Amino acid sequence: MADLELTGIRKSFGTVDVIKGVDLSIKSGEFIVFVGPSGCGKSTLLRLIAGLEDITAGTLQIDGKVVNDLPPSKRGVAMVFQSYALYPHMKVYDNMAFGMKLAGGGKAEVDKRVREAANMLQITPYLDRLPKQLSGGQRQRVAIGRAIVRDPRVFLFDEPLSNLDAALRVATRIEIAKLHERMPTTTMIYVTHDQVEAMTLADRIVVLNAGMVEQVGSPMELYLKPANLFVARFIGSPSMNTLACTIEAGGADAVVRPDGGQPVKVLEAIPESAKGGKGTFGVRPEDLQVTTGSDAIFKGTIDIVEQLGEVTLLYVDCGNGGEPVVAKLDGIVNVKKGDTIALTASADKMYVFDDNEDARELGASSRRRGQPIRGLPSDGTGGHRLGGSTRRAACLSFVHRKLRPRLRLPPEFLFSPA
């Protein structure tokens, strides 16, 4: 069991700020997922927790103990990397046992843990095989099993499914979910760019952008109550339709007109003083419906039809000169390119975000850029765009400062059991 507390965590490579002031509390047994665009710092933050990178500023506590200066082997963590890093000349059994043997574990205890982990991950039949005789999914399970053998307090996963094909990714994702159920007291932190992995595995998701936390919450909280425009656009696939809008009426009966659309009443408490101001109107593709009545929000011409069987994606040109409005409709829809269509949505499925330039007119001068006018709380910190994660610099820093030429081990073998 392990609680983690990150306070004011910063990481810089020279003059480049990669992680800037991250505050995060993680409870023992939680499954936390870091998501964000490429270069947002999610893998760097994971490496800081692991001890593979030095923290520039701030404190990291595990079970109330500051571990900033502790080496990885003393933190009680185990890490599974995107690359499997298995010894090609060792059989599966020896690969899984090596870390614990290196830490001085007894033969009987090592054998017990290896066989328990192999049984848990359903790789017992492969214990006498070499890595080259395994599929990609089987190799990744061996890498996960090697971490389980060490009995860590904290599991760290750095995009472990990225090298797998679609079918194996689904199967291995299910195995990781089952692993969490079997190890309910082990804290797990998982980095991914895949929203399906994040939404299905996480107890809470941490959305990162340019080295800062945008929002922390459960998967459904992020989906239904995005703290700002970035989160609204990032969570969901296809992403939320967002269009500039004009506030035509404020107060309890607020009315907005999205560009290329019709005036709509929203369930937002917009100040009367915001009338005539600008904002951003949002509605998710799956919340749009075809209509033939007077409740249409958007009317336009179908530009692209994507028939996926279970759903149909329509890209509708509303004549506003901007991005097409995307509608995600159930089943097979008999329409074609060039057809005229009208779309509507329920008022409780619409979002209105303040605009950066007109935040003061919307009564939101104290809010962050792109925050919902509805004033939903955010667990993140606000911010400005920073430089992306310097992966090459991070890798070189790790090699030069953490590894010794005499150690010819994959990086994760620096970790020992808790």
Helix axes 107-121, 92-102, angle to 10 degrees: 130
List of residues 6+ apart from 387 with CB closer than 8 A: 16, 17, 18, 210, 211
**Exposed/middle/buried for 185, CB within 10 Å: 0-12, 13-18, 19+?**
exposed
> What is the structure's pLDDT at 372?
58
Residue 218, C-beta contacts closer than 8 angstroms, at least 6 positions apart:
202, 203, 204, 205
Q: Which two tokens stand for residue 333?
A: 């829809």
Measured distance CA(122)–CA(282) in Å, rounded: 45
What was the pLDDT predicted at 369?
A: 46
- What per-residue confidence (pLDDT) applies to 414? 42
Per-residue model confidence (pLDDT) at position 45? 96
Q: In this predicted structure, what is the pLDDT of residue 82?
A: 81
Q: What is the pLDDT of residue 11?
A: 96
Each of the 418 residues of the chain gets a pLDDT tens digit; together they read 689 999 999 999 999 999 999 999 999 999 999 999 999 999 999 999 999 999 999 999 999 999 999 999 889 899 988 887 889 999 999 999 988 888 788 889 999 999 999 998 889 999 999 999 998 888 988 998 998 898 889 999 999 888 888 888 888 899 889 989 988 889 999 999 999 999 999 999 999 999 999 999 999 999 999 999 999 999 999 999 999 999 888 777 789 999 888 898 888 778 887 888 888 999 999 999 999 988 899 999 999 999 999 999 999 999 887 889 999 999 999 999 999 999 999 988 999 988 653 322 333 333 344 555 543 333 333 333 333 343 444 443 444 444 434 444 444 444 433 3
